[in-house]
Structure 1
């Protein structure tokens, strides 16, 4: 490692970031956002505000001959009342496209969440430093992937060699919107979320607009997608609509049409893939709302249950089965005049047979190995030969 006086400090700016739609300059560092300020002003709940500030898919990208890197951060650690302690978020170093190191920080701001009471409280914490050392000294492309589920303020970047802007262009940009699974819930590393796995296999630049609990057909999210440059777009719709018991079938169809209409205002001919929900037994034929299992929490486990009544589907309450049928119908209807619109059944990514082999540990979210499994399948079905995102569709 070079001596301290040789360190170069590079301002952390939006130009160093990939995967963020906006940044906020705060007294405690640069805060990446995955929704623009115009959308954030319309967010109606703390859950989505928290989720969009968690930098899933966001990474610093630059070129340098540095052998050592330090990144000062303020991380936000989440503590759920009655639930096991969450592991620290991981910062992953990628050099010339290959994994080159992992690090974490032990503390920071603390966000205490009581899911039963629906309350959140934040306690400020310290600035900590992420370090990567003993890197090769030649010029190289460097990415530092931020923790996918840990809000992170970027305070300072230091290297022992100058930093140059990362090369741009050359790879297609894939923008994906979805729920907590797309966000990366239960994945252990930012490059291990299923969209990150699929993006690497598809050789594309990823913008991940997966929001835990927040894929609710919000018009401000549709406008953000509309206004973001992208070569490929996918939207995964359904599970959060059921989780929240947000709407009935009568409202769901027009809301999907409106969401897609808004995206098409900015991307009239961009390949657009509508993905229906993955298999989830608690909601296949039982409506929401979803709730934490209090008895499991007393045992120190996080488990989710559905509290709806299957008989209420006759009155228009939504289940995953109903939503899959409706999404397939909507895409068939629209594809008659939109040849760039495509459909992917979520059961082809994770179905009943997959669940038998790889059950969802908490009833809602896949484990790390299943994230990779889903990402590999998406890459094959979407980016592979004959898929809607295959290079020949450009």
Structure 2
């Protein structure tokens, strides 16, 4: 999805807080680039800096609209800086999603942490809008204006500040204003955790960017997160394996299964070799890095019913977003995939690679099972709510610590 420049206004607007403060960093400068963490590519545009979670060569070769939207949303992307500033004003152009007939989505949240402590949050109204008509299968992109998230009353001492960008919005970074100089911070002592997964890992229905389960786990485990959770796009694509292969990391995890099933992408005969090939490619760049395969979390919709998944049109007409499994369980014997089948095959596949001492398997039901579903049902039949994100993240934090220390067996 491309972004054209906003036409110049006919009159000069009043300066935004980001420009009115004594110090200003433009994100289209090297100094601005140095503040960004968790993105694999930074694109300079006429409107500002667009963080991408997939490299340029992937975006140019693979023009899938769902992948393009998911990778541009800044899940796990954050600004990391050192400063004595007591006021920070972040100017961005957010991109909002609008679904006709459904309640308006909440504005994306900007979480601010001071020396690892959650301190404030803000939202930015307006910006661009992408209107997605799920019944008609159409999309329209309308341009809007930049806005500013302002944080005041920060402690005046020298400190590390993080601003986590909205996990479910595309964010164009324009400028950062402050009342004292800012510079990049370093955390070379923290292991880098590279994670890939579906919309569950991306953070669908999490309350804030630090509330996605990978962010909860990363912060609790004291690691630096690179989140390649891509809504609807964890499909064992070879380009994703090559991206993981080429990205520096101290530990890697892969949440595999739900998207392959709900896209009805492949049959059992193709699935097992595809996973082997995915792992082989990652191992070409990370031969000894701890590598964890996470099988599907519980999703009653697809436990024993194949995909494809489709929106429930009756629910849409009633103003509710829910999903249906449209496959035929009788076709599982012919190779159609369900989550139960995927869990079984992943367990066998990892066991067959016993010559790799750094490869591990985690049953996704240890993160979210039937008892959890009884307490916190999936919001729309597919995605966990904020409480589940928190619980899954807290459970996974121990796995991350063990993986980083080489204690996971």
1:324 corresponds to: 343
2:282 to 260, 263, 266: 263
| In 1: Cα distance, 2:189 partner to 2:294 partner | 26
Distance 1:195 1:4, change over 3 A: closer
- Does 2:370 match 1:352? yes
TM-score by length of 1: 0.96
Which string of whole-angstrom CA distances, capped at 9 and with x for unpartnered residues, describes residues 137-194 of structure 1?
Answer: 1110011100000000001111110112212301000000000010000001000000
Any idea what SS the aligned residue of 1:223 has? Answer: helix
Contact 2:110 2:121 in 1 (8 A): yes
2:108 corresponds to: 89
- Does 2:160 match 1:141? yes
2:66 to 30, 47, 62: 47
1:233-382 matches, cutoff 5 A: 233-334=252-353, 336-380=354-398, 382=399
| In 2: Cα distance, 1:337 partner to 1:390 partner | 20
Which string of whole-angstrom CA distances, capped at 9 and with x for unpartnered residues, describes residues 310-348 of structure 1?
Answer: 0011111100000001111110111x2100000000001
- Does 2:23 match 1:8? yes
2:3 corresponds to: none
Contact 1:75 1:105 in 2 (8 A): yes
1:206 to 204, 225, 230: 225
Distance 1:234 1:153, change over 3 A: same
| In 1: Cα distance, 2:404 partner to 2:344 partner | 23
1:151-230 matches, cutoff 5 A: 151-230=170-249
TM-superposed CA distance for 1:43, in Å, is 2.2
TM-superposed CA distance for 1:6, in Å, is 5.6
TM-superposed CA distance for 1:69, in Å, is 0.5
TM-superposed CA distance for 1:391, in Å, is 5.7
Q: Please, which runs of 5 or more residues in structure 1 have no aligned partner?
A: none
| In 2: Cα distance, 1:206 partner to 1:225 partner | 13
- Does 2:43 match 1:24? yes
Q: Please, which runs of 5 or more residues in structure 2 have no aligned partner?
A: 1-16
Contact 2:96 2:169 in 1 (8 A): yes
Any idea what SS the aligned residue of 1:170 has? Answer: coil
| In 2: Cα distance, 1:5 partner to 1:234 partner | 43
Contact 1:383 1:391 in 2 (8 A): no
Contact 1:42 1:220 in 2 (8 A): no
TM-superposed CA distance for 1:123, in Å, is 0.2
Give the alignment's Cα RMSD to 1 decimal.
Answer: 1.6
